[in-house]
Amino acid sequence: MDWNESSRRSFLKQFGAAGALALAAANAEGMGLSGAEGAVVAASPSQAKQAATRAGRMKWWHEAKFGMFIHWGLYSLIGQHEWSKEVEGVPIPQYELLAKHFHPKPNAARDWARLAKKAGQKYMVMTTKHHEGFCHWDSKLTDYNAVKQGPGRDLVREYVDAARAEGLRVGFYYSLMDWHHPDGATCKTDEAARKRFVEYTHGLIRELLTNYGKIDVLWYDVSWPLSAEGWESEKMNEMVFELQPEIIVNNRNGLDGDFSTPEQQITASEVGRAWESCMTLNDSWGFNRGDDAWKSPKTIVDNLATCARGGGNYLLNIGPEPDGSIPPDTTAVLESVGKWMDINGKTIYGTDRLQAGWNTNANYTRSGNTLYIHQHYWPGHTPAAEWLSFYQPDAVIAIGGIKPKVLSAHLVKTGQKVDFTQDALCVRLTGLPLKAPDQPATVIAVECDGEPTVNHDETRPLWPRYKVGVS
């Protein structure tokens, strides 16, 4: 939108105080730049209005850090990942038969929610409709839904109730791309088809956000084959916020929304922009019988710390079996992560973005002036201690480039005080046990007298150099 004085005035008239706030933010930051959250400059009045409430709407989400993604649909009956329909070229009349044979056990979602709670996850996001087009709820707009087909009941209702029973926030995944709807592809080239399909899509989203009480997250996916304009995404989000004023939405309907969604990778957004990395626990989103590439609890805990350290969230997927059961490997990994979170959760939840360089042996998070060192590869005893006074029994953890001054250190698991020395090059934590006190990572809290940063490359120019050769 081209802002001039009259559009500015009509905008203020329409959106009152919230609008004024957003405009002030826009002016302060300069168009197209982002500053503190909520001050991300919006491209339109309705986006500016959403930006004005963003920080408040997203507070719980920033604290939560860890969520459960659930991919569950007809594809689970095939058991070869959720893209079977397209990747294997299954014809629609064949694929539709699955809907008749989908008979999940009652309230399978309760087990998901219990597991999420145990794992330390604070919110859930379930596929209400994936690319296959099947609706898990009691839709009035299509019979291709759980009530009219095999399940004979509303699976979204079961999911929502299950999440709430565990005190978890509720998110809906919704795929805009639809392989089943007759207008799902022709909408790109046929305006009448586009109009019908957009009306259908907005109608389904309206049902989801009207019939299940307060919904915390709307997670759009794949906007093929239309642009934001084609989907009428501005209008879509306006409806969403009208129905659910406190909801947060992602960026996959062609608009920026409230947060970015790096997939199968952890990439922090610029400061001021919220982000959530979504990732599979093996290699597949939907249930995939043969996929045994499970990530270890160590990897999950490390990924979670990497997200937290970059100021982002981690949305970790499970792919339940056709009856809704959770694959045993999934349960094992998440329970193990949960045990670690029971002790170390405070080093993840509500933590702040941290500036830190790489370290093969450890990850880091930060809460105010406290640096948390997540040591996933414990040093044990090094033979080098025989010659180097730098190392000493039983174990030393040294971190180069920690700033500023360290005041104290302790093991998070036991509260035990840790001795340390600090100079311009590093902090040395000494007198540590031979074996790692905690698995899959031992966390050491290091209290500093200011905001900590860790950058070993910053110390490189400081090293006293002696001579070229060593005699």
| Position 276 contacts ligand GLC (CB under 6 A) | no
Instruction: Give whole-number Cα distances, 324 to 71, 108, 388, 403, in Å.
Output: 10, 5, 57, 49
CB 37, min distance to ligand GLC, A: 23
- The contact pattern for ligand GLC, residues 49-88, with x = CB under 6 A and - = no contact, is ----------------------x----------x------
Distance CA 419, CA 437 (A): 16
User: Site for ligand GLC (CB under 6 A): which residue of 166, 263, 447, 451?
Assistant: 263
CB 198, min distance to ligand GLC, A: 20
Task: Considering the complex, state which of residue 48 and residue 70 has its C-beta at the smaller distance from ligand GLC.
Answer: 70
Tell me which DSSP letter residue 137 carries.
S
Tokens representing residue 435 in the block: 């074996």
Task: Considering the complex, state which of residue 285 and residue 364 has its C-beta at the smaller distance from ligand GLC.
Answer: 285
Tokens representing residue 260 in the block: 């970015």
| Position 278 contacts ligand GLC (CB under 6 A) | yes
- The contact pattern for ligand GLC, residues 82-121, with x = CB under 6 A and - = no contact, is x---------------------------------------
Residues 6+ apart with CB under 8 A from 11: 19, 23, 45, 48
CB 179, min distance to ligand GLC, A: 11
Containing H/E element for 300? helix 297-309
Distance CA 290, CA 327 (A): 12
Task: From 19, 6, 7, select the one nearest 47 (Cα to Cα).
Answer: 19
Residues 6+ apart with CB under 8 A from 12: 19, 20, 23
Task: Considering the complex, state which of residue 87 and residue 424 has its C-beta at the smaller distance from ligand GLC.
Answer: 87
| Position 222 contacts ligand GLC (CB under 6 A) | yes
Helices and strands of the chain, counted as H and E runs: 13, 17
Question: Which residues inside 340-399 make contact with ligand GLC, applying CB under 6 A?
Answer: none
CB 177, min distance to ligand GLC, A: 8
User: Site for ligand GLC (CB under 6 A): which residue of 216, 221, 302, 438?
Assistant: 221
- How many residues belong to the site for ligand GLC (CB under 6 A)? 7
Alpha helices in 140-252 (DSSP H): 155-165, 191-210, 228-231, 233-243
CB 63, min distance to ligand GLC, A: 23
CB 281, min distance to ligand GLC, A: 13
Task: From 355, 374, 218, 373, select the one nearest 300 (Cα to Cα).
Answer: 374
User: Site for ligand GLC (CB under 6 A): which residue of 285, 287, 340, 420?
Assistant: 285
Residues that bind ligand GLC (CB under 6 A): 71, 82, 221-222, 263, 278, 285
